[in-house]
Amino acid sequence: MSHHEKYMQRCLDLAILGAGKVSPNPMVGAVIVHDGKIIGEGYHQQYGQAHAEVNAVNQVLANFDAAEELLRNSTIYVSLEPCAHYGKTPPCADLIIKHRIRQVVVGCRDPFPEVDGKGIEKLKAAGIEVTLGVLEDECRFLNRRFFTKVLKHRPYVILKWAQTQDSFFAPDDKSQFWITGAESRKLVHQWRGEEDAVLVGKNTAAIDNPQLNVRYGDGRSPKRVVIDRRLALSHDLHLFDQSVETLVFNEIKTAIDGKIKFIALEDFDRYVPQYILYQLYLQDIQSVIIEGGAHTLNSFIEAGVWDEARVFTGQSTLKSGIKAPKINGIIAGEIPSGTDHLQIIYNHKQR
């Protein structure tokens, strides 16, 4: 690993600390190096607040009397191209130019049209040396949610389900049946806190009455999304408790009732996954985890609009019932989760 890669890896380690807190912004880490030593570092901690570069520069300014001279003779490493436009905060490229930092090493370009290449151009025009593409694949992967939203105009889609040893999803009598253990359920709650929204179909909502929150994990609860074509679900369900913004996709009405948003789709017989994802994109939702049921999961699989699948296999068997979805992709990992087995799969068409 080169010295550039070593410091960029530190940027990535910092950036991931913003998971679940900065969307719809990307996760970004920054490290300032002087004479082979890190003198300042930071990451984007909260949406609407200071970017990684600002936090790194501020750390140097706070800790060194000769901060300005140090910055002039330093290199700043940033996992994503410094912004060049005014958004919630001023442009980070301007900050780097202001402090005359002599070299900038960038992991990957920012695909957002207001930035894409403009930050790098502004730095070069100011006489700053720019190196681009250090650990580029890793930097792009870290922000795969952000890149998907910007480039494909839809959220990053994660499918999640549990199946028995004999590949069944649930009993066919509509009874509730727990397949996974406590460790896996806690992990799912942790995942929810990392994504913008969690989606289920009508049958899952009616049978399981899920809260879709993070009560066994950390972070904030995601927005809830349910597909209820004919608005048949009882409003006594947890989904309608007004605790979290909840989107109800249907064919009857578009209306708002407190934190419940009813969104009527123009066509419920074709392209439902695509319509839903575009509406979520319009709501500034960067990622969604789809937790069932089998029909809903299969509809996204058949439409080809998924990016990642997380599949638990428990210890139990059912011998009959609703078959678990089948999926083809790149197996990226297989790990134990308590007594369960977890498989991570990526859509090869989306990679």
Catalytic residues: 53
Spatial separation of the C-alpha atoms in residues 321 and 324, rounded to whole Å: 9
10: tokens are 């530190």
Bridge partners, 293 (sequence order): none
Contact 3, 43 (CB under 8 A): no
d(CA 225, CA 296): 12
Q: Is the dihedral of CA 240, 293, 203, 275 positive or negative?
A: positive
Contact present, 312 and 342 (Cβ < 8 Å): yes
Alpha-carbon span 3 to 80, nearest angstrom:
18
* Buried/exposed 293-320: b ≥16 CB within 10 Å, e otherwise: bbebbbbbbeeebbbbbbbbbbebebee
Contact between 60 and 71 under an 8 Å Cβ cutoff? The reply is yes
